[in-house]
């Protein structure tokens, strides 16, 4: 499908939203991107005003409350963005007959270690949801608002999202490696990273092939955070050592899933092959070196 769409991007200041802006610029597609300070998706009037101004064919929602630990105490704020904001966008898109692309998370699943035996290739799109923390609950609430809205939608779940900029595990590890010789990293949480450039490219391919519904996008392979850290240091030529610890040794305000792997079978059936996690990491670090 080679139709020229006009895109409206929310949350353009975040790592996924900024990746969409780079992608749309590179492709020469028509778009208007709004940061959270320019468009507050929790304000229904602002959403409608922006959509009437841009008159998009597709709305890409990258706006989200993403501070997992702070969501335990700022739960109302997290629900406002992750549920009510999605509700506002979905209602406006349904009324205008516009496709809404919305991003969610592996954190909607229970993440129990024993689920690895039930879903050896990762949670499927229709697997039972049961979040372990408030952040996951707010994102699941947003998913339900979207699905029940009657809007035309693509719901994309990602895990361990990493991009060239912003706050993510790769950038955190590189910062810590510049400050110390050894880094403590949990080794009992399994999953696979999603790279922003890969997520955006695959999402646009799904849009243009007319796919709808729920899809998972992340890289191929299963690893722990400690495995990830060691590969980051190896590729970067850093001698920083990784001290593998348990989640109990690194307490946080919000519980984390022990098993976070997402199945990509549906994505593959759509003709899209997941990037290998090591290849994706190489590409990400290359982009960072180029200051993209």
Q: H helices of 186-261, where?
A: 196-208, 225-235
CA angle in degrees (0–180, nearest 5) for 268-271-277: 50
Among residues 135, 195, 215, 250, the one annotated as catalytic is 135
Residues 6+ apart with CB under 8 A from 18: 12, 163, 165, 166
What is the rounded distance in angstroms from the CA atom of residue 288 to the CA atom of residue 264? 26
| CB-facing half-sphere around the CA of 21: CA atoms within 13 A | 18
> Is-contact 106 262, C-beta < 8 A?
yes
What is the rounded distance in angstroms from the CA atom of residue 40 to the CA atom of residue 46? 7
Residues 6+ apart with CB under 8 A from 58: 5, 6, 7, 8, 98, 99, 100, 101, 207
Based on the residue annotation, tell me whether 135 is a catalytic residue of this protein.
Answer: yes
Residue with tokens 């996008």: 217
What is the rounded distance in angstroms from the CA atom of residue 17 to the CA atom of residue 8? 11
Residues 6+ apart with CB under 8 A from 220: 192, 264, 273, 274, 275, 276, 277
Active site residues: 135
């Amino acid at each position: 499908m080679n139709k020229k769409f006009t895109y409206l991007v929310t949350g353009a200041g975040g790592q996924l939203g900024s990746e969409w802006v780079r992608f749309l610029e590179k492709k020469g597609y028509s778009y208007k991107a709004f940061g959270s300070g320019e468009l507050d998706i929790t304000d229904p009037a602002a959403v409608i005003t922006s959509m009437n101004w841009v008159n998009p064919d597709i709305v890409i929602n990258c706006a989200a409350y993403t501070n997992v630990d702070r969501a335990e105490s700022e739960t109302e704020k997290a629900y406002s963005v992750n549920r009510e904001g999605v509700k506002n966008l979905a209602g406006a898109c349904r009324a205008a007959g516009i496709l809404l692309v919305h991003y969610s998370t592996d954190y909607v699943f229970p993440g129990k270690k024993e689920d690895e035996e039930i879903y050896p290739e990762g949670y499927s799109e229709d697997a039972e949801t049961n979040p372990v923390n408030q952040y996951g609950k707010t994102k699941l609430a947003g998913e339900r608002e979207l699905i029940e809205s009657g809007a035309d939608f693509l719901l994309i779940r990602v895990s361990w999202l990493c991009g060239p900029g912003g706050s993510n595990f790769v950038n955190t590890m590189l910062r810590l490696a510049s400050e110390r010789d050894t880094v403590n990293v949990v080794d009992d949480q399994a999953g696979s990273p999603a790279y922003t450039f890969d997520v955006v490219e695959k999402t646009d391919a799904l849009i243009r092939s007319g796919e709808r519904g729920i899809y998972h996008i992340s890289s191929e392979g299963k690893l722990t955070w400690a495995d990830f850290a060691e590969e980051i240091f190896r590729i970067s030529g850093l001698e920083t050592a990784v001290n593998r610890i348990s989640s109990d040794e690194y307490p946080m305000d919000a519980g984390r899933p022990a098993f976070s792997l997402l199945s990509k079978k549906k994505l593959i059936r759509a003709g899209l092959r997941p990037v290998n996690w090591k290849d994706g990491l190489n590409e990400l670090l290359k982009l960072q070196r180029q200051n993209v």
